[in-house]
Amino acid sequence: MSQITLTFPDGATRAVEAGTTAGMVAESISKSLAKKAISAQVNGAHYDLAWPIEHDATIAINTMQDEAPALELIRHDLAHVMARAVQEIWPDVKVTIGPVRDFGWFYDFDRAEPFTPEDLGAIEQRMKQIIAAREPVRTEVWSRADARAYYEAAGEPFKVELIDRIPGDEPIRMYWHGEWQDLCRGPHLANTGQIPADAFKLTCVSAAYWLGDSTRPQLQRIYGIAFRNRDDLKAHLKFLEEAEARDHRRLGREMDLFHMQEEAPGQVFWHPNGWTIYTTLQDFMRRKQRADGYVEVNTPQVVDRKLWEASGHWDKYQDHMFIVEVDEEHAREKAVNALKPMNCPCHVQVYNSGLKSYRDLPLRMAEFGSCSRYEPSGALHGIMRVRGFTQDDAHIFCTEDQIEAECARFINFLASVYRDLGFERFDIAFATRPEKRVGSDESWDHVEGALEAAIKSTGNPYRVEEGDGAFYGPKLDFYLTDAIGRVWQCGTFQVDPNLPERLGATYVGEDGEKHRPYMLHRACLGSFERFIGILIENSAGRLPFWLAPRQVVVASIVSDADEYVGEVVETLRRMGVRAEADTRNEKINFKVREHSVAKVPVILAIGRQEVENRTVTLRRLGEKATRVLSLDEASEEIGAEATPPDQH
RNA sequence: GCUGCUGUAGCUCAGAGGUAGAGCACUCCCUUGGUAAGGGAGAGGUCGAGAGUUCAAUUCUCUCCAGCAGCACCA
């Protein structure tokens, strides 16, 4: 037996026999560590305590204190425990795969009938019994042929397919949780009893395609969530509740922002309150873009298919377009149009009308472009994913040499927009050339280099997503993180030499010859609909004052105050504040409650004292305290707050 | 689009083979009340749409539409 050297986190080393396991190492250090150990990091890789270590390595023993590996193992073992529970209850159910995911895991089963919510209770019970049994988890490495034969005999076709998909150089690991067997890459806990039995919950069932492929069979998926202890589980359940309370569909109704109805699925009926947010946001974007050197255009909704054929979209996306056929009386053939699903081809038409010189570049052409896409019914989600929406779209026509500067300029612009909207942080994903692509490697080198240099010049961190770019050019995606930690992709920046080519865009260069411009697609918000949904959920309906649809309610306490209430409202309105009177025959308690529920940020109460002293009593949403201010002081304070951030 | 679930008053929901109920909201009356629901009365529904079974369907069956969750999709 050969000797290998293990190096511990503190730098200490130890010589052991090759084939020693992390479990044996823990045992040799101390009894208590052996008891607490759950897995190990061996050369940075997550190792099962039972896997042999064959070469010199660094090693660190994990315990439940090590959050990432602990959660990984707990969730992963629960996936297996759940699959075992399911097969114990329904022996004819076929197992497939059960990976760890955010907050928990899922496992896909092949079974004719879907699982019911009642089934989940039964499965959970059985899982607790399995955990309580504290049965050992055992692992063996098998030959591919043996494993294949084993699963063929067991009638588990999905496992056979999985084995065939495991790359040739990877070991085939067979695991046993007690008597129950599964194919798994591991690692796992040493016994089922190490799983905290009170910190998991099965959450829902659904269908999912085998291997995520919609042409393959549908399986029944069960989701679970799991944590290291009951408190963490409780905290997560609370988070889910919080997310539900922030749901923009619910707040949209409660705040009377918009509604949707059957006759126009996936399209928004904006109510006065919601439309106020929309137009305020749009006005803000218009000012920002104007200040950053954009020109604004507007282009048609109904466009002949010929243009979509020329742009290449007809081929690829016609199933997702709203088609408008028109029978013209003397026409030889029916005119087939599509509602525009995007603005780019139209912008090229604007660009193409009239000769462009290199002196005109870069040309930043913006449109609040209303688009229609026939999204699959299952994709629709409130105002976040709709069939009719308006993008804060713009295309920058420029030369190859201008790409870097334009990219940097855009990142700074976007950062400024996000900051004004209350998002201090955003993340950049840089998507590079895919395998299937057009254009020379030199050109890709140059454009990718330009984008990367641009990001670096702005000082923002970024991550690279290799091969995720479009077939014609690389792109940047910008992600926002909201108040409860959810991540939303909003902004985008995409380099496109393809569409100018297809649609024949040119400019006259210094040399007097025609050249092909690049087209940079870019958006900050994405769509107004979706972004407003995000703003609502991010703020839980308590929008920043300048965006709040109803900013101030001036509420009378006694009817003798009505006249002065009107005067206060008028004063505020003259300062551009969205103020309204509430002189209804209701008690102040009732009014405060109602406007608080409706998320009105400021309530001014007016009773006899205020009328007498020409003051107002100001109460802010979420605060119990009130302040008495003179009308002048109050209107100055509120007026300043109502000013959009770009106008301070 | 796929799988499952759901669709009853503006909202949240109960209900049953014999054409419907609650709370809140709404209207009116009383009350003029000092910071998160004062009291009373009234009005309001083709029970998502269509077809079938039945003496009788909102209730059972089928088809469609829409919504919800997940999957797939997102130029």
A561/A608 Cα distance (integer angstroms): 6
ipTM: 0.95
C-alpha A492/C-alpha A523 separation (Å) is 5
List the catalytic residues of A: 344, 373, 391, 393, 395, 475, 521
Residues in chain A: 648
Find residue A390's DSSP bridge partners: A370
Q: Find the Å distance, CA of residue A108 to C1' of nucleotide B2.
A: 16
CB burial of A269-308 (b: ≥16 within 10 Å; e: otherwise) equals ebbebbebbbebbeebbbebbeebebeebebeeebebebb
C-alpha Rg value of chain A to the nearest Å: 31
- List protein-proximal bases of chain B (any atom < 7 A from a CB): 1-4, 7, 11-12, 30-38, 65-75
* Of the candidates A96, A308, A318, the residue with the CA atom closest to the CA atom of residue A217: A96
Instruction: Output the distance from A95 CA to B34 C1' rounded to whole Å.
Output: 66
Give the confidence band of A168 by pLDDT, cuts at 50, 70, 90: confident
Q: Yes or no: say if A256 and A271 are a contact pair by the CB < 8 Å rule.
A: yes
Please report the pLDDT score of residue A169 as a whole number: 82
Pairing state of beta strands A137-142 and A172-177?
antiparallel
What is the pTM (predicted TM-score) of this model?
Answer: 0.93
Q: Are A386 and A380 in contact (CB under 8 A)?
A: yes
In angstroms, the CA of A279 and the C1' of B34 are apart by 36
DSSP state of A93: P
Comparison of pLDDT for A204 and A538, the residue scoring more: A538
The strand pair at A45-47 and A57-62 is best described as unpaired
pLDDT score for A1: 63
**What pLDDT, on a 0 to 100 scale, did the predictor assign at position A114?**
82
Cα angle A215, A386, A497; round to 5: 75
**3-class DSSP state for residue A535?**
helix
Phi and psi angles of residue A267, each rounded to the nearest 5 degrees, phi first: -130, 150
Task: Decide if A503 contacts A517 (C-beta within 8 A).
Answer: no
Q: How confident is the model at residue A113 (pLDDT cuts 50, 70, 90)?
A: confident
Q: Closest nucleotide to A116's CA, by C1' atom?
A: B4
Residue A113 CB neighbours (<10 A): 9
Q: How far apart are CA A55 and CA A48, in angstroms?
A: 16
Under a CB-based contact definition with an 8 Å cutoff, are residues A199 and A225 in contact?
Answer: no
**Per-position DSSP letters for A217-272, written without gaps between them:** PEEEEEEEEE-SSHHHHHHHHHHHHHHHHT-HHHHHHHTT-EE--TTSTT--EE-H
- For A140-167, how does the pLDDT look when each residue is reduced to its tens digit (9 = 90+)? 999 999 999 999 999 999 999 999 998 8
Q: CB neighbours of A482 closer than 8 A, spacing ≥ 6?
A: A488, A534, A537, A538
Q: Is the pLDDT of residue A332 over 90?
A: no
pLDDT class for A241, splitting at 50, 70, 90?
A: confident
Q: Which pLDDT does position A112 carry in this prediction?
A: 80
- What pLDDT was estimated at residue A327? 79
Q: Strand A388-398 relative to strand A302-304: parallel, antiparallel, unpaired? A: unpaired
Average confidence score pLDDT of chain A: 95
Whether residue A328 has pLDDT greater than 80: no
Share of chain A above pLDDT 90, in %: 90
Q: In this model, does residue A330 exceed pLDDT 80?
A: no
Using alpha carbons, select from A490, A460, A461 the residue that is nearest to residue A477: A490
Which of A556, A584, A585 lies closest to A568 in space, CA to CA?
A: A556
- The mean pLDDT value for A191-214 works out to 92
The mean pLDDT of A263-290, rounded to a whole number, is: 97
Structure tokens at A377: 């019914």
Say if strands A218-226 and A45-47 run parallel, antiparallel, or are unpaired: unpaired
> Which residues on adjacent β-strands are paired with residue A55?
none
Please tell me the distance from the alpha carbon of residue A137 to that of residue A193, in angstroms, as a whole number. Answer: 10
Nucleotide closest to A610 measured between CA and C1': B34
Pairing of strands A602-606, A552-556: parallel
Tell me the CA distances in angstroms from A417 to A299, A362, A388, A646, one per residue in order: 24, 21, 24, 9
A621-639 confidence digits (pLDDT tens): 999 999 999 999 999 999 9
Give the pLDDT confidence of A40-88 residue by residue, as tens digits: 999 999 999 999 999 999 999 999 999 999 999 999 999 999 999 999 9
CB distance A362 to A400 below 8 Å: no
Left, alpha or beta for A44 (phi > 0: left; psi -120 to 50: alpha)? left
Which sign does the torsion angle of CA A441, A442, A445, A450 carry? negative
Work out the pLDDT band at A606, boundaries 50, 70, 90.
very high
Pairing of strands A3-7, A57-62: parallel
For residue A565, what are the contacts with CB-CB under 8 A and spacing of at least 6?
A554, A555, A556, A581, A582, A583, A606
Q: Could you give the CA distance from residue A409 to residue A416 in angstroms, rounded to a whole number? A: 11
Q: Omega into A187 within 30° of 0, i.e. cis? A: yes
**Percent of chain A that is helix, strand, coil (3-state, to 5):** 40, 30, 30
Pairwise CA distance, residues A630 & A416, whole Å:
35
Given this model, what pLDDT does residue A646 score?
Answer: 97
What tokens were used for A421? 């909207």
- Which of A592, A627, A590 has its CA nearest to residue A610? A627
Q: What is the pLDDT of residue A204?
A: 87
Counting residues of chain A whose pLDDT is more than 70, the rounded percentage is 99
